Amino acid sequence: MRRPRRRDGPAMDEQLRKEGDRSMADAHRLQLDELRRLVADILVAHDTAPDNALRVAQALAAAEADGQKGHGASRVPSYAGQARSGKVDGHAVPEAIRLTESAAIIDARDGFAYPAIDLAQRTLLDCLASSPVAAAVIRNSHHSGVVAHHIEPLARAGFVAMSVGNGPQGIAPWGGHRGLFGTNPIGFAAPRADHPPLVIDMSLSKVARGRVNVAAQTGEPIPLGWAFDSAGNPTTDAKAAMAGTMAPIGDAKGAQLALMVEILAAALSASCFGFESSSHYEVEGPPPRAGQFLLALDPGPFSEGLFAARLEDLLAAIEEQPGTRLPGQRRFELRANAEREGIAIPQALYRQLVSLRG
């Protein structure tokens, strides 16, 4: 397999911005409440319970607000089709199975991931009332969206939290060309006393696969270095990339991190590995049965009350250096702007969504 040169850093950031500008040149703007109502109506029309439809709509709108369009409105056609076909059970009610006072299994029951993630958050907060450590796995799950949203509420409640999740094959083991691991995002969040939480959210592919899916939908090329075709060759064709694999961050090291996530998210929850799971994009097929893992810690007991001060010392040292920016800051800026001005989605996608509403 021919591996591309690294193209990380400012040059890739600028290329990402230009790609986004082109894809939004012909766009429809709507307020977040409008998008939530539209998505919820579509899902209800495609055999999803109203409560579940609302929760999914909230998650997709939140992704759009944070600039994570690969996990936003572009997912609606596949979500709706899968609910209609039964690949995802739109009426599933997740179940919490408590193992101990600090550990639980959440069974998504082949439904959408977001109601199960909500239940996991509530369960962890309940666990943390009596334990400084709490963990939960989610099994029989689905596409889990923006991993930062799994843990930001826990950080806002005062806890340090991590979340990982797997999905259908998207990354090959280093040196191979057949997808084995999902793109397997990792999220981390830490509370801050007088600021929004510190939030780190990264896919283990160089870019989230959802970005490539958006490009495939709009017919846009992708930058060289993002992905490989099915033969393992670097490609700028988004559709060929969707049939192939994503380039892992850090090359071999990123592939090893993806393996770690498969173990934590899938093996630990007895869920499907990436190479066993069905596509999150295709309408037909068996349920993907992905897994997620969430861990939350009360920093007070471990640090003897010094966590907040020590964290601020570290973050201040970062910000003292010119050109630096704390992770997650742009996300909060985009969110505030979206609350004021709404979001833009491609006209073709908007017309498709309106047609799906029925």
Condensed to tens digits (0 to 9), the pLDDT of residues 134-184 reads 999 999 999 999 999 999 999 999 999 999 999 999 999 998 889 999 999
**CATH level 2 (architecture), domain 94-205+248-327:** 2-Layer Sandwich (3.30)
Low-confidence ranges of the chain (pLDDT < 70): 1-25
For residue 219, give both structure tokens.
Answer: 């017919």
Return d(Cα 209, Cα 197) in angstroms, integer: 26
pLDDT for res 279? 93
Residues 6+ apart with CB under 8 A from 219: 238
In the chain, which segments carry CATH 1.10.1530.10?
31-91+328-358
pLDDT for res 25? 60
- Summarised one tens digit per residue, pLDDT across range 11-60 is 444 444 444 444 456 799 999 999 999 999 999 999 999 999 999 999 99
Starting at the edge strand found earlier in the chain, the sheet holding 234-235 runs 234-235, 227-228, 245-246
pLDDT for res 19? 45
DSSP for residue 157: T
In the chain, which segments carry CATH 3.30.1370.60?
94-205+248-327
Return d(Cα 182, Cα 229) in angstroms, integer: 16
pLDDT for res 16? 44
Give 313's Cβ-side CA count (13 Å radius): 5
Residues 6+ apart with CB under 8 A from 210: 68, 69, 70, 71, 74, 75
Through-space distance between the first and last CA atoms of the chain, rounded to whole angstroms:
46
Which amino acid appears at position 255 of this protein?
A
| Residue among 251, 257, 255, 223 nearest 238 (CA) | 223
Which amino acid appears at position 287 of this protein?
P
Say what the alpha-carbon torsion angle 287, 121, 67, 285 is, to the nearest 10 degrees.
0
Q: How far from 207 is each of 16, 37, 258, 292, CA to CA, in Å?
A: 10, 29, 14, 20
Return d(Cα 115, Cα 250) in angstroms, integer: 33
| Residue among 280, 292, 274 nearest 117 (CA) | 292
| Residue among 274, 84, 25 nearest 164 (CA) | 274
Q: How far from 31 is each of 35, 46, 61, 116, CA to CA, in Å?
A: 6, 23, 10, 27
Which amino acid appears at position 270 of this protein?
A
The C-alpha R_g of the chain, in whole angstroms, comes to 20
- In DSSP terms, which residues pair with 234 in a beta bridge? 228
Say what the alpha-carbon torsion angle 140, 183, 70, 159 is, to the nearest 10 degrees.
70
| Summary mean pLDDT of the chain | 92
- Alpha-helical segments (H) within 182-281: 209-218, 238-242, 252-261
**CATH level 2 (architecture), domain 31-91+328-358:** Orthogonal Bundle (1.10)
Place of tokens 């999902």: 182
- Pairing relation of β-strands 234-235 and 133-141? unpaired
pLDDT for res 217? 83
Write 114-117 long-range contacts (CB < 8 A, 24+): 114/52, 114/55, 114/56, 114/58, 114/59, 114/144, 114/145, 115/51, 115/52, 115/55, 116/141, 116/292, 117/144, 117/149, 117/150, 117/292
For residue 296, give both structure tokens.
Answer: 């939350």
